[in-house]
Structure 1
Amino acid sequence: MITSSTETTQSTGAAAPAVLDARGVVKAFGATQAIAEATIAVAPGEVHALVGENGSGKSTLVKILTGVHPPDAGTVVVDGTTLDRVPGPRGASRHGIVTAFQEVLVVPAQTVGENLWLGVDGILRHRVGREQKRRRGAAILAELLVEPPPLDRPVEELSLSVRQACCVARALLRDPKVLILDEATSALDIATRDRLFDVIRRRCSAGCSVIFISHRMDEVDEIADRVTVMRAGRTVATLERGQARTEDLVRLMTGSGHLVPDEVTRRSSAGGAVVLRARDARLRAGGAPLGFTLRAGEIVGLAGLDGHGQDRFLRGLGGFGVAGGEILSGDAQAGRPISTVADAAACGIAYLPRERRGEALFESLSILRNFAVATLPADRRAGLVADRRTVQRFLPFVERLGIKLGRVEDPIRSLSGGNQQKVVLARWLAAGPRILLLNDPTRGIDLGAKRDLYGLLRELADDGMAVVMLSTEVDEHVELMDRVLVFREHELSAELTRAQLSRQTLVSAFFRSGATAHA
């Protein structure tokens, strides 16, 4: 049975009214109807997931609930008080509504402790004493992290997962009545995410409510009490925990019931020629050497807890260097060493970094200029870039990758995260690589964009390209990869073949030390 939010709250027999209730919300930006009609009711002490593809209206609804935008129609009821609009982000905070976002919002040069308490102090006075800040900050980090960083350590020295944990800790320190996690788990490693889920359960048992937004259906299945689905600016369903099966949610969001499209079938790639090899490679000083061969036409996954070496290995394959040993192109006889990014490019290796904004995008430039970075020499005429030639090169990728854009001259920042990722991918595909290295490419993009990428990767592999993909999503490894290398403590801990891959075997390998398997 699919019910509306309000009906679901009543059907569960909740005695208390919803702590946050958005009713009939409508919002347009000019001619663009961002929300046609949205309704969500969040009960005290529940985890209420909000899911939908990019462009479904989730982000706009969150901005209305947090006071960033006023609704054009509809009401928001907070603790029984009906509001025409939430009075700005500070007003939302006063009502106990606090948000942690997908973006890792830290000041890198400041310390952990300073970042935890950003926005709390006024200009002229400190609202929380120094010792209390240290005590509470250390306590919440100890809940979230196995090894919490010192409070006086600069945030720029931390891994991405730990920086994001600091952002979540900042929100928890506000003791929210309603905590909104807007893709806030996308940068967390599995161990930290699981600890966060434990914190959420404890907070909810004490009366806190959580709106949980994620494109990862396994997370929704694990933590959510109810799920509201949005599609094309409308609330289309709210389901109880037992009703919210992954295939049902995916179907409601996209019209198809599978994360990986049916036509994306894996085939054996054992016969492909060797295109890349690691020989006695070490990811840390004193670490065990590892061997690895990559063959044309296969998709190899890199997995493990965040910070355990898979990122270093992927970057090593791309010419960023390893602690010891060699990375070689092709077979052992004909291979040339790859020790620099220039070496990698000369060998037909393309690397897509994890941090789009910091490492791959030029946010002040247009969509077309971002695409053209890798093909500038080919597109020059008399020292000038020939835009017509670049457009002719770009448009087939727009169609092939399903890039949704207005004009190619629009700023790259005007695109959704998924479409930005597709532009970066198009940039490197236009250079004609033999080997594609992807660093968590689906982080923070919606299911539709993921499905498009999965289909493209299998198509590329079927055409003979070799793909190595670091992913933090267990389901991606299980459903897409030909084999998976698992890293632990900067060493290759296990290699799982296609026949061995399952959620249980993969997650177990994250926490189990074992003999290194050589490719």
Structure 2
Amino acid sequence: MNNQPSGLMLAGVSKRFGATRAVIDGDLHLRPGEIHTLLGENGSGKSTLVKILGGVHRPDTGSVTLDGVPVNSRSPRQAMDLGIAAVFQEVLTAGSQSVLENVWLGSHGTFRRRLGRAEQRSIAQDVLSRIAGEVPLDLPAGQLSLSERQSICIARALVRKPKVLILDESTASLDVRSRDRLFVELRQLAAGGTAILFISHRMDEVAEISDRVTVLRSGRSVSTVDRSDLSVDRLISDMTGNSGHDATRRQPHDSGDVILRGASVRLASASAPIDFELRAGEVVGLAGLEGHGQDHFIKRLAGVAAGPGSVVRILPEGVAELTERNGDALGVAYLPRERRGESLFESMSIRENFALPTLAKDRRGGLLDTRSIARRFEAFARSLSLRFGAAHDAISTLSGGNQQKVLLARWLATDPRVLLLNDPTRGVDIGTKREIYAILHRLSAEGMSVVVLSSEVDELVDLADRVLVFRDQSVFAEIPHSELSTESIVAAYFGQKSEVHT
């Protein structure tokens, strides 16, 4: 008689990469029919455990079993054949191929009988519509929004009808509607017996979707909590080893003179013009459902997107219009949304990634002064509490949160007066988020102006002096600090005017 528990079991798993012990003592029991969240700060070992389950890595010690049978996956293909499908935070689509081709990418050999083209279309359309709504199957994936492309990655896993579905920060790229549709789908899958391992740094998502939560800290499993015992304070304490947490809500304060102005900015030919002023020391939040214009607007402010209207930097000596080429010279720095595709140079070192925009500061007589680069990098690494092995290590060796700190340091090193941040804490753990919030509070107190686009409503409530909510490619509402709340922002998302200033 088999006394092994059903579901996916990890017991005493460890994994080392050189001198780094990524996982020391990993334990997890994922039961059929449950949504089990794996929670931990960046660098706690979550990604390594997921890659062990997904066949990317093999554990050094410990065991992994599925329904009592040892799992010895040597590749993602073998893991898939066992019924384990993983969706990662990185949006992995082939931009030149159609939506349909992307949904079925890599599925050859997964199905016992070969599906015809018509059946593939029907299944793909059905699965995608439940997450993202109507998405044209023949459109190249590269023409879709970030949320739609991530929905394709999720659909790619769902069409395989896995026993175990792993979602590793995959909701970080979804808009609110797609995220809510996905949660409905996950509950239905769990009701049908699918075991779901869910990873997110968003505490509201964890509280909403989890049946149980396992917390990792420094490579060890430290607790597993049932839904009835979940509390944010307890989870934060388990993740960090500290009890309680400091308030991060921004306090109202007086701002300075206008230093950036947008006049008659149009995001689409039929949209209303936007007039915008940003003052010294002010933090302005940008919000809205995916695709409603906030992403285009912050790119207009940065000068990296063109269109009707003007954006000017107001200087003591006069006014200068922003373009893609003169942002640095005018003291405007822009941190893009997609680290991997738009900011990181993965083959280069941590220090090289930091130094790229400011190499001119480190030239002495035409030669690069590497000691000067090292000194500046060390200063920013200390002030941002950057955690890394050696500065010459590849930046790909860092956790997502520490990669984001390197990119933030890169642009702070240009001495900007205006800092434009496009979803800066996407995929970043709660401890690193709070560190970034504290940095932004300090910078604004010193007179820097900050514009933050965020997909996390709670983040905007904590950070901003005021929030602009976008709808249909224009500003639908401007919410002042005195009325900022999750309720007022979400109401504006869906066109409700009663609770907000318009």
TM-score (norm 1): 0.91
How far apart are 1:217 and its partner, in Å?
A: 0.8
1:271-290 correspondence runs (5 A): 271-290=255-274
1:61 equivalent to 2:49? Answer yes
1:320 equivalent to 2:308? Answer no
The equivalent residue for 2:189 is 203
1:98 equivalent to 2:85? Answer yes
Distance 1:366 1:38, change over 3 A: closer
Partners of 2:231 and 2:66 in 1: CA distance:
30
How far apart are 1:93 and its partner, in Å?
A: 1.5
Is contact 2:418-2:449 (8 Å) kept?
yes
2:38 is matched with which residue: 36, 39, 50?
A: 50
The one-letter code sitting in structure 2 at the alignment partner of 1:243 is D
Partners of 1:84 and 1:312 in 2: CA distance:
46
Is contact 1:50-1:228 (8 Å) kept?
yes
How far apart are 1:385 and its partner, in Å?
A: 1.3
The CA deviation string for residues 180-201 of structure 1, in whole angstroms up to 9 with x for no partner, is: 0011111111111111011111
2:422 is matched with which residue: 425, 431, 439?
A: 439
Partners of 1:126 and 1:325 in 2: CA distance:
56
1:79 is matched with which residue: 67, 85, 98?
A: 67
The one-letter code sitting in structure 2 at the alignment partner of 1:34 is A
Partners of 2:486 and 2:498 in 1: CA distance:
20
1:510 is matched with which residue: 472, 493, 499?
A: 493
Q: Secondary structure at the match of 1:198?
A: helix
Is contact 1:270-1:295 (8 Å) kept?
no
1:139 equivalent to 2:126? Answer yes
2:457 is matched with which residue: 474, 478, 493?
A: 474
How far apart are 1:514 and its partner, in Å?
A: 4.8
1:245 equivalent to 2:226? Answer no
How far apart are 1:518 and its partner, in Å?
A: 9.0
1:179 equivalent to 2:162? Answer no
Is contact 2:271-2:473 (8 Å) kept?
yes
The equivalent residue for 2:288 is 304
The equivalent residue for 1:484 is 467
Paired-residue identity, %: 50
The CA deviation string for residues 104-159 of structure 1, in whole angstroms up to 9 with x for no partner, is: 11111111010100111259x9832211111100111111113x221111011111
1:454 equivalent to 2:437? Answer yes
The one-letter code sitting in structure 2 at the alignment partner of 1:421 is Q
The CA deviation string for residues 473-514 of structure 1, in whole angstroms up to 9 with x for no partner, is: 111012222111100111101111122122222112111165
1:121 is matched with which residue: 90, 101, 108?
A: 108
The CA deviation string for residues 19-62 of structure 1, in whole angstroms up to 9 with x for no partner, is: 11212222223332222212111122110000001221111211
Q: In terms of mean alpha carbon deviation, does 389-398 or 161-170 score higher?
A: 389-398
The one-letter code sitting in structure 2 at the alignment partner of 1:392 is R
Partners of 1:334 and 1:316 in 2: CA distance:
23
Is contact 2:33-2:191 (8 Å) kept?
yes
The one-letter code sitting in structure 2 at the alignment partner of 1:490 is Q
The equivalent residue for 2:146 is 160
The one-letter code sitting in structure 2 at the alignment partner of 1:99 is A
Partners of 2:226 and 2:291 in 1: CA distance:
36
Q: Secondary structure at the match of 1:161?
A: helix
1:495 equivalent to 2:478? Answer yes
The one-letter code sitting in structure 2 at the alignment partner of 1:115 is N
Partners of 2:500 and 2:465 in 1: CA distance:
15
Distance 1:491 1:385, change over 3 A: same
How far apart are 1:403 and its partner, in Å?
A: 1.4
1:229-378 correspondence runs (5 A): 229-256=215-242, 261-262=246-247, 264=248, 266-330=250-314, 336-378=319-361
Partners of 2:417 and 2:446 in 1: CA distance:
10
Is contact 2:129-2:135 (8 Å) kept?
no
Partners of 2:430 and 2:29 in 1: CA distance:
24
How far apart are 1:408 and its partner, in Å?
A: 2.0
Partners of 2:312 and 2:497 in 1: CA distance:
26
Is contact 2:4-2:68 (8 Å) kept?
no
The equivalent residue for 1:149 is 135
Is contact 2:57-2:74 (8 Å) kept?
no
2:15 is matched with which residue: 17, 20, 27?
A: 27
Is contact 1:290-1:516 (8 Å) kept?
no
Partners of 1:439 and 1:104 in 2: CA distance:
17
How far apart are 1:78 and its partner, in Å?
A: 0.7
1:18 equivalent to 2:2? Answer no
Q: Secondary structure at the match of 1:409?
A: coil
The equivalent residue for 1:392 is 375
How far apart are 1:258 and its partner, in Å?
A: 6.3
Distance 1:321 1:514, change over 3 A: farther
How far apart are 1:516 and its partner, in Å?
A: 13
Is contact 2:491-2:497 (8 Å) kept?
no
Distance 1:454 1:258, change over 3 A: farther
Distance 1:276 1:257, change over 3 A: farther
The equivalent residue for 1:8 is none
How far apart are 1:70 and its partner, in Å?
A: 2.3
The one-letter code sitting in structure 1 at the alignment partner of 2:174 is L
Distance 1:16 1:310, change over 3 A: farther
Partners of 1:75 and 1:59 in 2: CA distance:
17
Q: In terms of mean alpha carbon deviation, does 275-284 or 185-194 score higher?
A: 275-284
Is contact 1:100-1:180 (8 Å) kept?
yes
Q: In terms of mean alpha carbon deviation, does 372-381 or 189-198 score higher?
A: 372-381
Partners of 2:364 and 2:114 in 1: CA distance:
61
Is contact 2:258-2:277 (8 Å) kept?
yes
The CA deviation string for residues 60-113 of structure 1, in whole angstroms up to 9 with x for no partner, is: 2112222222223222221232x1634532222222111111111111111101
- Structure 1 unaligned regions, length at least 5: 1-14
The equivalent residue for 1:88 is 75
Partners of 2:346 and 2:499 in 1: CA distance:
42
How far apart are 1:289 and its partner, in Å?
A: 1.2
